[in-house]
Amino acid sequence: MRARCVAQNVVVCLVNDGVHIILLKWMSAVDSWCVMLMMKGALLLTVLYLLRCEGAVVVTVDDHPVVNDRPIIGVLSQEQSMYLHTKYPEENYTSYIAASYVKDVEASGARVVPILIGKDRSYYEELMGKLNGVLFPGGATYFNQSDGYADAGQHIYEIAQEMNDAGDYFPIFGTCLGFELLIILASGRGEPENRIRCYSYSNIPLNFTDDYHTSKMFKETPEDILELLKNEDVTVNAHQFCINDENLISHNLTQDWRVTSHSYDDYGVKFIATVEHTRYPFYGVQFHPEKSSFEWKLSKNYPHSINAVKSNRYFMDFFVKECRKNMHSFKNQAEENAYVIYNYEPHFTGVLGSAYHQCYLFEPRGTVANSG
C-alpha cells in the first residue's frame, strides 16, 4: 500500500512492509551541499506530513506476526490398557492418557485438553475449533478397534487437513504409536497395515539424512542439541512396529512425507525416526521425547542425564512453537476452564507396576457386569 505526499519539492512514498521508507524523487534541483541533509530529514518529513497524506498508514520497524502466548493443545486418549483395567476393575475406565505427555506439553509453555475417544465427528470438529494443535501420544492399542484411538485420530487428521487447506494453520505431532498412526492414515487404513514388525527397546542416537538441516523441524535446532542427538544414546525407543522407507514408497507417500532421520532396532532393522509432512504442519517421531523427564520405572532404563533431558526437550518446544501460530480459542474463561486437564486427577499408576508413572483415566463405565 502506498501513500503519496507532496511537501514543497519532495515526493515521498511510504511502503507498508514494516521497514522501508523510500525517497522516490526530488521535484526540483537542489544544491549538492544540502542533499545529505535532506536525506537525513526524509523520515522526519514523512512524519510531519503524514496527516496530510490521503490513505496513509502508520508502520513500525518492529512489526511481528501475531503469536498465541496462551496455546492449548489437545492430547488424544486411547483405549484403557488391559493391565490398567485389572487395577481398576470396578471403575472400568474407557480411556487414558499417560501424564508424561501432559507434563511434556506443559513444560513447553502450553496447557492440555484431553480428547476422548468414541465420539462422533462433530465433537472433534467443535473441539479443534478451540484448540491450537493436537498430540497423538504413544501407547499400545490396535488400529482396527471401532470407536477407538485410530477412529478418533482419523477424524482429527481429516479435519486438520481441511483446516490447513483453508489457510487455518493447525499442527499435529505423533509420538511412537501416534507417528505410526499418521502414516497409516496417510496410507489409507486397511489390511495389511502399512508398517512393519521391528523390536526396539533401547536408547539410541539419530542418523540424520543429508538434507535434514533444511527441514521445518530441524532448520533452527541448536548445534549442541544436534550433536547430542547424533552422537549419544538419548532417544528412548519402545516399539514392536515401525515405519521404514519402503512403507512410504509402496504407498506413494514420498512426495507428501519427508524423512529427516533413521535409527536401527535391536536386530539391525533400519526404520524412520523422524518425519514431517511437506505441506501440512504434521510431524512424527518414532521415539519418546517425554520419557527422559517424566517416566521413572527402573527396569526400563530410560536415560535421565542432563544431555538426555536437554535434547529431548527440543521436540515438544518445537511443536508448541508451531501451535503458537494458531489463534483458535475458547469463547470465554469459563468454557476454557471446563475443558482443561485440571478437571481430572492423575492416578499414581507407577506404584501399581505400570510403565507409566501417572495416568489420567476417563469415563468410568462401572463393572463389566453392570455395564450392560
User: How far is it between the farthest Cα atoms of the chain?
Assistant: 99
State the cell numbers at 349.
Answer: 499408576
Active site residues: 176, 288
User: How many domains are contained in the chain?
Assistant: 2
- Enclosing domain of residue 170: 72-343
Instruction: Say if residue 7 is in the same domain as residue 156.
Output: no
In a domain, 362, yes or no: no
In a domain, 65, yes or no: no
Instruction: Say if residue 46 is in the same domain as residue 132.
Output: no
In a domain, 60, yes or no: no
Tell how far CA 77 is from the center of its chain: 16
State how far the Cα of 114 lies from the Cα of 117, in Å rounded to an integer. 10
User: Hey, how many other C-beta atoms are within 10 angstroms of the C-beta on 256?
Assistant: 14
Tell how far CA 320 is from the center of its chain: 6
Read out DSSP for 139-205?
----TTSTTSHHHHHHHHHHHHHHHHHTT----EEEETHHHHHHHHHHH-S-SS-S-EEEEE-SEE-
In a domain, 283, yes or no: yes
Instruction: Say if residue 225 is in the same domain as residue 293.
Output: yes
Q: How high is the pLDDT of residue 367?
A: 53
Instruction: Say if residue 100 is in the same domain as residue 35.
Output: no
Instruction: Say if residue 126 is in the same domain as residue 16.
Output: no
Query: For 21-38, what is each residue's pLDDT tens digit?
Result: 333 333 333 344 343 444
Q: How high is the pLDDT of residue 9?
A: 38
In a domain, 229, yes or no: yes
Instruction: Say if residue 153 is in the same domain as residue 10.
Output: no
In a domain, 130, yes or no: yes
Instruction: Say if residue 117 is in the same domain as residue 39.
Output: no
Instruction: Say if residue 44 is in the same domain as residue 183.
Output: no
Instruction: Say if residue 149 is in the same domain as residue 288.
Output: yes
Query: For 341-372, what is each residue's pLDDT tens digit?
Result: 999 999 999 999 999 999 999 999 875 444 33
Q: How high is the pLDDT of residue 191?
A: 81
Residues of the chain under the 70 pLDDT cut: 1-64, 367-372
In this structure, are residues 101 and 139 in contact, taking their beta carbons and an 8 Å threshold?
A: no
Assign residue 277 the CATH number of its domain.
Answer: 3.40.50.880
In a domain, 364, yes or no: no
Q: What is the mean pLDDT of the chain?
A: 85
Instruction: Say if residue 30 is in the same domain as residue 154.
Output: no
Instruction: Say if residue 136 is in the same domain as residue 211.
Output: yes
In a domain, 359, yes or no: no
Instruction: Say if residue 235 is in the same domain as residue 338.
Output: yes
